[in-house]
Amino acid sequence: MVLGLTPGDSVLVVSPHHDDDALGAGGTIARLTADGIDVHVLAIYCHTHPGSDPGIRTAEFDEACNVLGVTSHHTAWTDTAAAAGPGTHLRELVHLIEAGPHVSLRALRPSALLLPAAGSFHQDHQAVHTAGIAAARPSPHAPRIVLGYVGPEDAAWGQHTDARRPLAVDTSGVWETKAKALTCYGSQLREAPHPRSLATIRALDTAAGSFVGTRMAELLTVYRLVV
């Protein structure tokens, strides 16, 4: 049982870009879906820029979500002004996460919300974190669990400043599923020693496991935990 959730519960994972959910919480997602929990992924931004083709990124996202076994996934903004500059569309972003028509807190009433943790160097991740915390404020559809995940670039480059990461998910038994999902993102993975390489991600998850006495783990920041 992961996070105290049981079949019938659902989880909303908010991902700034198409690969961030797998990079930061792919093992946790795989554990949840293996336990029969419905996981829904909302990817916020996808826009054209050098090295990013929306068609390729969307196909990679579809494939990775299938590998992880998520129930549904949706991309909100593709090649829009909001996708290019999310920090200037914060009000729209809060509404999207809280009450969007497809995959949102109001539509799903999830038991848990996973979003990027505070302290990222990436301005898009900062915007999603700020909006997600606002969207999850106490309300009839607020999740009882709100957790933050950290991507390998934040972890490897030492940019992550939020020290509240007391929750560990043992991903030893599902790490190969996470790795398979990550390999779907062929346009985004890099060769070691880049933080976005399979070798670096494996090393980071192994180090996280060593902190808690498991072979592999993902460390999550707790923002709300109602038991």
CATH code for the domain in which residue 175 is found: 3.40.50.10320
Given a cut of 60, whether residue 164 has pLDDT beyond it is no
Task: Let me know if residue 187 belongs to a domain.
Answer: yes
Separation between Cα atoms, residue 87 and residue 93, nearest integer Å: 9
Average pLDDT score over residue span 10-19: 96
What per-residue confidence (pLDDT) applies to 153?
86
Task: Let me know if residue 83 belongs to a domain.
Answer: yes
Task: List Cα–Cα distances, 81 to 105, 120, 125, 141, 224, in angstroms.
Answer: 24, 22, 17, 29, 32
Q: Which domain holds residue 82?
A: 11-225
Task: Let me know if residue 124 belongs to a domain.
Answer: yes
Separation between Cα atoms, residue 115 and residue 113, nearest integer Å: 7
135 falls in which pLDDT band (50, 70, 90)? very high
Between the ranges 98-102, 118-122, 145-149, where is the mean pLDDT highest? 145-149
163 falls in which pLDDT band (50, 70, 90)? low
Separation between Cα atoms, residue 71 and residue 111, nearest integer Å: 15
Which residues have C-beta within 8 Å of that of residue 111, sequence separation ≥ 6?
5, 9, 10, 11, 143, 144, 145
Task: Let me know if residue 77 belongs to a domain.
Answer: yes
Lowest mean pLDDT among 12-16, 76-80, 152-156, 193-197: 152-156
What per-residue confidence (pLDDT) applies to 81?
85
115: closest CA among 212, 218, 222? 222
Task: Let me know if residue 2 belongs to a domain.
Answer: no
Q: What is the pTM of this model?
A: 0.94
Average pLDDT score over residue span 180-195: 92
**How many domains does the chain divide into?**
1
What per-residue confidence (pLDDT) applies to 87?
82
Task: Let me know if residue 174 belongs to a domain.
Answer: yes
Average pLDDT score over residue span 207-220: 94
Task: Let me know if residue 1 belongs to a domain.
Answer: no
SS3 79: coil
What per-residue confidence (pLDDT) applies to 156?
62
Strand partners, 74: 42
What per-residue confidence (pLDDT) applies to 33?
98
Separation between Cα atoms, residue 56 and residue 189, nearest integer Å: 13
Task: Let me know if residue 138 belongs to a domain.
Answer: yes
